[in-house]
Each structure stands twice: as C-alpha cells, then as structure tokens.
Chain A
Amino acid sequence: MSEQTENKTGLWATIVREMRLLVARPAYVLCMVVAPLFCSLFMLSLMHEGLPHKIPVAVVDLDNSSSSQSFTRQLGALESVDVHYKLNSFTEARELMQSGDIFGFLMIPEDFEAKALAGRQPEISFYTNNAYYIPASLLYKSFKTMSVLASGAVVRQVLLSAGAEESQIMAKLQPVASDMHALGNPWISYSVYLNNSFLPGMLQLMILLVTVFSIGSEIKRGSSREWLRTADDSIIIAVTGKLLPQTIIFFAVGLFYLAMLYGYLHFPMQGNIWHMIAAMFLLVVASQSFAVIIMSIAPSLRIGLSAAGLVGVLSLSIAGFSFPVQAMYLPFQAVSYVLPVRHYFLIYVDQALNGIPLYYSRMYYVALILFAVASTPLLPRLKKALMRHVYVP
C-alpha cells in the first residue's frame, strides 16, 4: 500500500504525502487545531461579562454625615463599582491603590453636608489608577456621573423650594443633554470589541508559523527534492498540494470562530454572514501566501519562523485593533496595510459591525486576493532554493 503511493506522483499524491506528515507530528495538530481552539475558548470565557463589573474601590469619607453616607451607598449601587473599603485617610487609600487592592477611590471632604447646605461648594475628589486602563476608564465614568448627580440633587432641591415644577427642573439642571449612540455595540462590550479582531489575529499568527514550518522542514530535512518529485517537479503542484490540506483545516477553524462569535454568542452581525465567510477564507489563503513569500525570500526554517513570528505577533498591535492606525507614526501606518489581518479587520467593521453595503469594502477584498496571488511570481525562486536545499542552522 505504502509503496504504491510512494511511486505515485501528481497533485493527489502530494496531498496524501502532506496529510501523512501532518498527522505524524503532534506539533502540527497542536498548532493547527488545539492552540486556535484553546485561544478562542480562553478569550471568550475571559471576557464573557463584556465589561468588568463591581470594580473594587475605596471611599474616604471625612464627613460621616447622612448625606455623605447616602452618597457612598448610591455609589456602591452602581453596577461597575464595589465600595470595598471605607477609610479614614488619603494615605491608607493610596497604599491600597499601590498594593493593587483597589483601582480607584473617592474622597468626601470634611463638612460636606454642612457646606453643601450652606452653598459653600464642598469639593469631591476622585482618583483612578490609570496604570490599569479599562478599570480606570470605567471608574472615571462612574465617579464623574455620581459627582454630577450630587450637584444635580442640590440644585433640584433649591429649585423645588423656589417653587419650580418637576417638568421645568430637568431643563434648568441640564439645558443641553446628549444622547450617545454606540453603533453596533451598544453594550460597549470589550468581548465584542476585542475578540472580533484578536481571534483572527491569532489565526493569522498560527497560519504563518505552520506554513513556514511545513515548507522549511522540507528544506531542513533534505526532503525537498522528494517533495518536488512527488509533484512531478512542478512547484505549483508542490505548493498547492502541500498547502491545500492546511487551508481546509485552518478554514474549518475559522468557520468555528465565526460560528462561535455570530452564532453561539450572537455578537453583532448586521450584514450578510457570507461576506464574513468569504473574508475568513481569503484571510486563510492570504496568510498562507504571505508565509510562502517569506520562505521564497528567505528559504531558511529559522529565519522564516523568526519573520513569521515577528509579523504575526506585531500584527496584533500594528493592525490597529486597540490603538487606531491613524494615530500611529507614518511608517507603521504603511506597514499596517501589508498585513492580511488588517484588511480582514476592516471588512469585519464594515460587514459585521456596521452592516454597510459591500461596495465600501471592495478594496479590502481586493487586497486579500492580491495577497493570495502575490506569492506566485516568487515560486520559481522558492523552487531553486528547494533544489539546493541548504540548511542553515
């Protein structure tokens, strides 16, 4: 049986040969299936709440009046805040902040109630630990809301005593109100925000590494000529036969991601799911092609893997998932557009998050297709390297 297949050549024989290699080494199974699935389970369960709730804070209440206590109670009733400590001095609060027990604290000054009643403007101050970005942002918002509401309560009391009607009070309190619409993600969920970009980013990383590893291993083990022979000495058949099984596996993982995100977890999907499926397929093929380009330029396993690791890991930062590309320095803006996952991300924003016409995303699809075909002119170069197969440790 095995002798028969060894003698066979052509595309099918190359595919069979590759499938044998894939199951023979646990590292492949780990990187193609286990690691991507673990990443998705990890990330999705880590942030399943959407936003961190009940962030521990302290209140330094120097007044201890019924007003200040009622204020503290109302603060603690907020979903994002948990008044974990009630302290007596700034120093205690600062120390708790430094040791990480709390992410922020709020100070109510002495004579808070007396001053508020007398119209002598007691000042509330709050401190957030901005070394931790997400909790600090949420706390800032909560503290500010509560402080503004405290002012409002006093004004309301004054207006009521002056004989104003309830209906007039809102207009007096806040003549200009704002109504914020967070399009597509009204819960401001970090899970929706991060997982839609980081999971494809991780997938791109694994595709780059595995593709480079599978081609580079042939060079390293001196089996590249045999590989070419199986493919009738055609580099096109050789590369197609090698990458096709991987394409199918990675695409299946990608489909699993899409099913998890938009099916099971019902993340925003305002457009047509087929647009995302197409984008996912193109991301897989584009990343594979990117890896082939790396190997054609530097046909060495180690250099290839270093480059793939560098590109894959930096993609998560430079593709602009968290820090917008427009705010980066110009060279990084340029680099971001030569990363396949950047274009996938932009398609996701258009098609899934905002659900706008396909027309506006056309260039990103074109870019991914270009990535997919960009490796073909370099294939003769790769073939030459495969024929020489020199292994540089």
Chain B
Amino acid sequence: MKLLHSIKIGLADIYYIWRREYRAVFQDFGVILFFFALPFVYPIVYAAVYNPEVVREVPMVVVDNARTPLSRELAREMDATPHVRIVSYCANMDEAKRMMHEKNCYGILCIPGDFSKKIERGEQSVVSFYSDMSILLHYKGFLIALTDVTMNLGGKLQTQSLGGATQEQINVATQPIPYASVNLYNPESGLASFLLPAILVLILQQSLILGIGMLAGGIYEHGRLHLFYSGREHMHNNVLHLVVGKALCYFSLYVLCTAYILHFIPWLFKFPQIGSQVEIYSFAVPFLLSSIFFGMTLSVFVRERESSFLLFVFTSVIFLFISGITWPRYAMPEVWQWLGAIIPSTWGIEGFVRMNTAGAGIYDVRHAYTMLWILTGVYFVTTCLVYRYQIWKDKKRGFSGLLESE
C-alpha cells in the first residue's frame, strides 16, 4: 500500500511540475519564440532559399579560334544543354578573361585554331575549358555539359567515318558497352532535397536547446529555482519528478512542431518523402527525448536568459557538419566521429534522411535508433545530476531570490 501511495504522490508531483512548466513557457515571450516561431519560420525560409534545387543556364563565353561549322556546332550543343548558357562569343582570351573578371560569365570554352583540321586528319582534337571555382555547382554543371557534348560529338564523327553502316553496327562500334545511371532518392540531384531534411531535424534540436536554455537562464537569473522544490516537501525534493515533469511539458509541446517539421514541410515543398510516416514518428520519439535531456543538461551553463543565444547558436553549424550529411562520417577524423556520436542530431539526421528520403524502414536504421535511446538514457542521468547539483547549490545559498510563491 505504501508503494502505491508513493506512486500516486509521485504522479501528482510530476503533474504539478508539468503544469507549472507550461505556465513558465507560455508566460515567457522569448521561449514562445524559440518553441513555436522559430520551428515555424526557419524551415520555410530555408526551403525557399534552396527551393530552385538546381543551377541552370550558368553564363559562359566561347573563344572560337577555329571558326568552322564543326566548332560552331560544338558551341551550339553546349548552349543547348540545360547547364550552361553562352552569353558571348569573344574574339580572344583577353576579352573572355575580362568578361570573367567582371563576373559576366563563369566559364570559358576555348576551341583551338586547328580544331577541325586535326579531326579531318584523323587526329584527336582537344578543346579547353576554364572554369571559375568560386561555386562548385557551376563547375559541376560545366563539367557535365562539356563531357556530354564532346562525347556525343565524338560519337557522331565516329559514325560518319563508318559510312553506310546500319544503326546497330554504329551503336556497337561507338559504344560496345552502354551504361545507365540512376540517381536514387534525389533524382534531380537537388540541393534542397539533400540539405533540407538535415536542417529540419537540426531545427527541432536547436530550438529545444535554445528554449530550454533560456528558461533555465531566467530561473537562474531571478533566483527562482526554489519554487520548483520548496512547498513540495512531502515528495522530498525528488529530482526525478522535476526532470520528468519538465521533459513531459517540452515533449508534449513538441509533438505539434515535429509533425509540422518532419511531415508537413517535406510534403509542402515536395521533397522526397517515401518513408512510412508512422515509423518516422516512432523514430522521432527517442530523438525528441534525447534532444530534450541534452538541452536540459546543457542548460546548466546558461546563467542568464539571453546567453542562451551566445552559447548555442554557433553550435548549429558544427552540428550540421558533424552529422555527416555533407562530409560523410566515415571520412572524418576519429575524434569528430566520437563527438558527433554524442549529439542527438547526428543520429536524428542519419535516421530521418534514410527513412524520409531513402524510404528505409525503422529496422534499417536500428543503429541510429538504438543510439538515440542510449543518448536519451545518458542525458537523462546527466540532467538529474546537474539538477541535483543546482538545487544543492541553491539550498546552500539559502533560497536567494524573491519568494513570490503563489
């Protein structure tokens, strides 16, 4: 009976903290911004920035020193690709360079004077391309266009030299082993479809960390920590209740945000979304819990409401890179792999990208899923420890603050 009684009181205590925390959240405009405005607005802004997905029609110029029908055909074929657009035909390289310096173009195709002569003599003809490297997407477009166009033109020339062959013979002669390339999961190789899923997961975690940090900073600043444990003496300042009650509050608030960010936004912007939503939601549970406890643990460093910004905003960039979405995890130095492994977003991003974008089931991402549960456990313990420590320190100072209990 005693056990039953203490469970009952425990639940009542958790419920009390939970309700109290709701009030704390909704009375704090700054926290409302972090918990609701930030997760609402940032995904839309980011999605809009990257929404064009691909780069088309990058300006380039041609320096055609050959001026033959064949060289003109080469330039025309380049212009016809989706990747580039010829903005000018320059008389010489100096003129082309000037165009490039003035940022009127990002690439120069240089066709040598003996271009056609060499081909007619049965020699190999080489064209040169100079690409600006400030934006790798430009370079990539140029490279694909140039390779495709020169290979097609070469194939055509080979065909002509065969004279009178049937189509099949031509095919065998020019491309005895054809190939097919398939871009899985992100068919147009779009930048938004690749980057946004990772950013979405990160927004969930970072807004939680920032908001929880701000709440903790406010409590510390105004010396109001004792309100969470004094007056509840019958439960004897049970840290467990405090931590669970608060976590329940954040978790319940974030159910909506999670649905919006992980379900609605990919649908709205037509990102690849081929996973099972039910499984994604069940994957999100340990992700949210570990992020909440991670944020609660980190909140011990926040001594002032606003220093939450200073401490946590810059970590977003680091967490994004360390997750391995751009630079694959296996290629990182070991120390960063380890650091990445203790950040919930690393596993959250890995799991979400695979499930949402690549259609994996929760069984396929079991490693990430398990890691998130482990992190939940670890950060739960650390949260209890830091809360215990803070309460201990607060008591030692003797409730230094205004006693504005209700």
Please list the residues of chain A having a beta carbon within 8 angstroms of any beta carbon in chain B: 27, 30-31, 35, 38-39, 42-43, 45-49, 52-56, 95, 97-100, 103, 116, 119-137, 140, 143-144, 147-148, 150-151, 154-155, 158, 168, 170-172, 174-185, 188, 190, 193, 198, 202, 205-206, 209-210, 213, 216-217, 220, 301-302, 305-306, 308-309, 312-314, 316-318, 320, 322-324, 326-329, 332, 345, 349-350, 353-354, 356-357, 360, 393
- Per the 8 Å Cβ criterion, residues 295-318 of B in contact with A are 303-307, 309-311, 313-314, 316-318
Which residues of chain A are within 8 angstroms of B304 by Cβ–Cβ distance?
27
B184 touches A305 (CB 8 A): no
* Interface of A, helix, strand, loop or mixed by DSSP: helix
B354 touches A100 (CB 8 A): yes
B328 touches A134 (CB 8 A): yes
Knowing A121-B175, A130-B187, A220-B306, the reply to whether A172 touches B158 (Cβ < 8 A) is: yes
* Stretch of B5-13, B226-234, B355-363 at the chain-chain interface: B355-363
Knowing A43-B321, A176-B125, the reply to whether A136 touches B189 (Cβ < 8 A) is: yes
Please list the residues of chain B having a beta carbon within 8 angstroms of any beta carbon in chain A: 28-30, 33, 45-46, 48-52, 54-56, 58, 74, 101-102, 119, 122-140, 142-143, 146-147, 150-151, 153-154, 157-158, 161, 171-187, 189, 191, 193-195, 197, 218, 272, 303-307, 309-311, 313-314, 316-318, 321-322, 325-328, 330-333, 336, 350, 353-354, 357-361, 364-365, 367
Residue among A54, A147, A357 with max Cβ neighbours from chain B (10 Å) = A147
Knowing A97-B184, A171-B124, A329-B52, the reply to whether A52 touches B327 (Cβ < 8 A) is: yes
A-B contact count (CB 8 A): 318
Chain B nearest CB from A160 CB (Å) reads 14
B150 touches A45 (CB 8 A): no
Residue among A122, A155, A217, A329 with max Cβ neighbours from chain B (10 Å) = A155
A305 touches B309 (CB 8 A): yes
A131 touches B272 (CB 8 A): yes
Cα(A122)–Cα(B177), bound, Å: 6
Chain B nearest CB from A352 CB (Å) reads 10
Chain A nearest CB from B210 CB (Å) reads 9
Minimal Cβ-Cβ distance residue in A for B182: A127
Knowing A52-B327, A176-B157, the reply to whether A353 touches B336 (Cβ < 8 A) is: no
B331 touches A52 (CB 8 A): yes
Tell which of A124, A206, A305 touches B177, judged by Cβ atoms closer than 8 Å: A124
Minimal Cβ-Cβ distance residue in B for A314: B45
Minimal Cβ-Cβ distance residue in A for B51: A329
A188 touches B136 (CB 8 A): yes
B30 touches A302 (CB 8 A): yes
A35 touches B314 (CB 8 A): yes
Knowing A52-B328, A175-B124, A313-B316, the reply to whether A130 touches B186 (Cβ < 8 A) is: yes
Minimal Cβ-Cβ distance residue in A for B119: A175
Knowing A121-B172, A314-B45, the reply to whether A129 touches B358 (Cβ < 8 A) is: yes
B358 touches A55 (CB 8 A): no
Which residues of chain B are within 8 angstroms of A306 by Cβ–Cβ distance?
33, 309
Tell which of A140, A178, A353 touches B127, judged by Cβ atoms closer than 8 Å: A178
Cα(A46)–Cα(B364), bound, Å: 27
Q: List 6 A-B contacts (CB under 8 A).
A: A46-B332, A130-B194, A144-B147, A306-B33, A314-B45, A323-B191
Chain A nearest CB from B123 CB (Å) reads 5
Residue among B137, B171, B189, B306 with max Cβ neighbours from chain A (10 Å) = B306
Which residues of chain A are within 8 angstroms of B137 by Cβ–Cβ distance?
322-324, 327
B317 touches A39 (CB 8 A): yes
B150 touches A123 (CB 8 A): no
B358 touches A125 (CB 8 A): no
Which residues of chain B are within 8 angstroms of A349 by Cβ–Cβ distance?
132, 134
Which residues of chain A are within 8 angstroms of B140 by Cβ–Cβ distance?
137
Which residues of chain A are within 8 angstroms of B189 by Cβ–Cβ distance?
130, 133, 136-137
Tell which of A49, A126, A198, A309 touches B179, judged by Cβ atoms closer than 8 Å: A126
A181 touches B181 (CB 8 A): no
Tell which of B46, B127, B364 touches A95, judged by Cβ atoms closer than 8 Å: B364
Which residues of chain A are within 8 angstroms of B143 by Cβ–Cβ distance?
180
Knowing A45-B336, A129-B358, A322-B191, the reply to whether A140 touches B181 (Cβ < 8 A) is: yes
A128 touches B184 (CB 8 A): yes
Residue among A53, A121, A175 with max Cβ neighbours from chain B (10 Å) = A175
Tell which of A46, A150, A216, A313 touches B321, judged by Cβ atoms closer than 8 Å: A46
